[in-house]
Amino acid sequence: MGQYEDVIKAAVQGSLSIIEQDREKEIISRRFGLSGDRETLEQIGDYLSITRERVRQLEKAIIVRLRIAAEDGKIPELAAAEKILIRNLTEEGRIAKISVLTNKIYGHEATNLEKSYLIFLGEISASLTLIEETEKYYGAIGISDYGDEKTIKKQIDEIVALIKNKKAPLSLEELDNQLNYEHPNYIRAIASISKQLSSLDDQWGLTKWPTVNPKNIRDKIYVILQNKKEPMHFNDIASAISSSKFRKKDVTLQAIHNELIKDPRFVLIGRGIYALRDWGYKKGTVSQIITSILEEAKTPLTREEIVKNVLKVRKVKETTVLLNLQNKKLYQRVDKNTYTVAKAEK
């Protein structure tokens, strides 16, 4: 990756070299953080003893001149850097977050200076589109042939609106079917620029939704069970979390067990086996489940019917159900093998 570093640095230096006045070169260097931390208009103004507004005007004018020079081929070093950036952006889906692109190009966790280099080149190159970081969007660079900043933000907002209207995560395939975009990889790329969206296994949803952005243990348990679509033993849940794509996967078995007990979304249905309440499971002992089944039936049920209904919501042995039915304080046999809830003693 060393050759890439040299090409990028040469493009930055080549661009700065065509700025004739030292003061203007200082403004661009400080504003984009090309020799240190990025500085505000006010900080640069104080340093150069000019107003904040004057710094803004000069910055804008210098950038325009650099863009014209770049388009006229007066910065030969820039062309080589553009090829590297475009090739890497194509692999990422034609647009990528600054952090993703810099890490990819440099082959390591990029420094702020390395990120600043790419932001600067993205600003002056006609071949690139720079997306400035805001509350809604991550800083990003795209290939300009596929959209300017306004177009890309409109596409991002379209994806966000689609997911909000659906009120549930959408797969990449579902998004592709509903959007008139060229390729699913491009949808994934531009969706990743939105701070409002997160994904898990290419299921895209709002960042605040735990199903795509689980932040704590209980949310991770919920996602694991939801994806499995069937009850699981807490040991298996722990293993699934460890092998998942979650950011923080180092959790103890005890912590998982504690959350399963405390969170009302989870129901113990057998020895160490848990299910989601969303699936129709209810908390309670076997006898409480039998009572609930008989009360909802509003008519006596046979022993076989009771066992069948209990086993739908509890992972227990048939004999366990039959033993509970022998409790005469709770259940009354009204016919051969037919039971109802016992009447309360007066």
Domain boundaries, the chain: 2-143, 149-205, 217-279, 286-341
- Spell out the CATH class of 149-205: mainly alpha
The answer on pLDDT for 346 being more than 50 is no
DSSP class of residue 177 equals H
The CATH number of 217-279 is 1.10.10.10
- pTM to 2 decimal places: 0.77
Fold (CATH) for 286-341: Arc Repressor Mutant, subunit A (1.10.10)
pLDDT, tens only, 125-167: 999 999 999 999 999 999 999 999 999 999 999 999 999 999 9
Burial 102-131 (b: 16+ CB within 10 A, else e): bbbbbeeebeeebbbbbbbbbbbbebbbbb
The answer on pLDDT for 282 being more than 70 is yes
Measure the CA dihedral 132/112/14/69, to 10°: 10
The answer on pLDDT for 345 being more than 70 is no
The answer on pLDDT for 105 being more than 60 is yes
Q: Which residue has the higher pLDDT, 312 or 206?
A: 206
